[in-house]
Every structure is written in C-alpha cells, then in structure tokens.
Amino acid sequence: MLLLDPLRAAPAARVVNVVSSITGGVDLDDLQFTARPYDGFKAYAQSKDALRLITWGHAERLADTPVTVNAVAPGFVRTEFNRNATGARAVMIGLSARLFGRSPAKGADTPLWAATDPSLRGRTGRYFADRTEKDGGPRDPAMVLGLRERCASALVDA
C-alpha cells in the first residue's frame, strides 16, 4: 500500500507476486490459525492463495494506471523452505525436491521474465507458470474485498 503512489507515478511499473501451484483454504475468519490447529502445509497453501487474491485485487484497483500486477509460480524449486518441517509429509517433500525440484536459477526465470519482458507491458491480473499464462484460480470479489479489509485492519492494529 505504501508503494502505490510511487508505482502510479512511474511511466510503467510492474508488481510480480510469487505464488505457488499449491493453493487453497483461505479462511478469512482465521488467517492466523488461532481457531484451528496449525498445519504448516495448509498455512503455506492459504498464504499463496491469499497472495493471488491480493494480486487480483490490486490489478483491478490499478487497472486504469500504467501499473501491472501479476502472479507467477516459480515451479517446484529446491530450496530449504521445508527445513523445519517434520513428519511423513516433510520427508516426502524433501525427497521430491531432491529428485524433481528445479534449481533456484530456473525457479527465478518466470518471475524475472514477468518483471522485464516487453511483451507483457499492460497485461495485468494474470497468472504465469513456465512463461505461460494459465488459469489463476478463483477470483471471488467477496474474498478479495474481505482479504483487503483484514489486511487494512492488521496495518491499523500494528
């Protein structure tokens, strides 16, 4: 929110939000997992889904400006994001990452492309994976508005 004025003032600005193909389960009434048992995988999926919703909301809000806002998925990247996880799911994710994960450099390819490629100028509110536009999932305006309200409330309470 603090960057909106400088972004609007730029001749052409881009916001690239890094999301994931793993999404789902946004609970607007329990974003912090205080009313339900914490699950790291579900929290990750919820956070990436919420970031997509934020992307769609900002793209709509900035539609009449030179600012584009898009979501990109870097793919399954070999990182240490799972280093503190435990249990069978953690073991499977770790093993899968070693066997099938892409390098961080390959994972950075689509986000960098979305930020710099001239052919994407003016294309906003999109979802890209492997330099290809894909269906970005639900764009429920009520969810976008609800998440915007909760984010604004969190800023006021901070």
Query: Annotated catalytic sites, by residue?
Result: 44
Q: Are 31 and 96 in contact, with CB atoms under 8 Å apart?
A: no
- Report the 10 Å Cβ neighbour count for 2: 6
Cα–Cα distance, 129 to 19 (Å, whole number): 10
DSSP strands (E only) in 25-126: 67-73
Cα–Cα distance, 142 to 65 (Å, whole number): 23
Cα–Cα distance, 103 to 152 (Å, whole number): 36
Closest CA to 10 of 63, 60, 96, 68: 68
Cα Rg of the chain, angstroms: 17
Sign, CA torsion 81/111/100/23: positive
